[in-house]
Amino acid sequence: MQALPHQYNVHAEAHSDNRLTVKVDNLDELAIAPPQNFGGPGDQWSPEDLFMASVASCFILSFRAIARGSKLSWSSLNCSSQGTLEKVNGVLKFTNIVTSVSLTIPTSESPDTARRILAKADKSCLVANSLNCEIKLEIVAITQTDSTDLGRSGTD
């Protein structure tokens, strides 16, 4: 990891014909539109979608790093983050986020250890730590499978 602080830059460009794109260096631009709830077309990423994608993907990346350091073998992690947007004191904001996860580990691994690592990932996610709303982790399932069923170890 590079020394802190890190800087992240995004460039957004809007046009009068309702086009909006965002771009970061070395990546393709991404078309953005309001979500259907705000009258948008519903066929492009919205700021709200990107926000929730940041929560879910940061949780998974945090889990991967902690699992690797803890030498936990795993084969898959499914993560869904659902945010509630409300008006509070006249301002729209996310008031609650629930991240639901299902993890598959080999039978040789301890479900208690897996739960501990999932909880640690929840506390370590920098995106979630940067938010001002209630955040809850819901472990939906930890499934154990015979290690011969694991195509590739999740400890990469």
pTM above 0.85, yes or no: yes
Element (H, E) at 73: none
* Burial bucket for residue 55 (CB in 10 Å: 0-12, 13-18, 19+): buried
Query: Which residues lie across from 84 on neighbouring strands?
Result: 96
Angle between helices 47-70 and 111-124 (to 10 degrees): 130
d(CA 8, CA 82): 25
Q: What is the pLDDT of residues 1-44, one digit of tens each?
A: 899 999 999 999 999 988 899 999 999 999 999 999 999 999 99
Tell me the C-alpha distance between 117 and 97, whole Å: 20
47-149: which CATH topology? GMP Synthetase; Chain A, domain 3 (3.30.300)
Per-residue pLDDT of 67-111, as tens digits, reads: 999 999 999 999 999 999 999 999 999 999 999 999 999 999 999
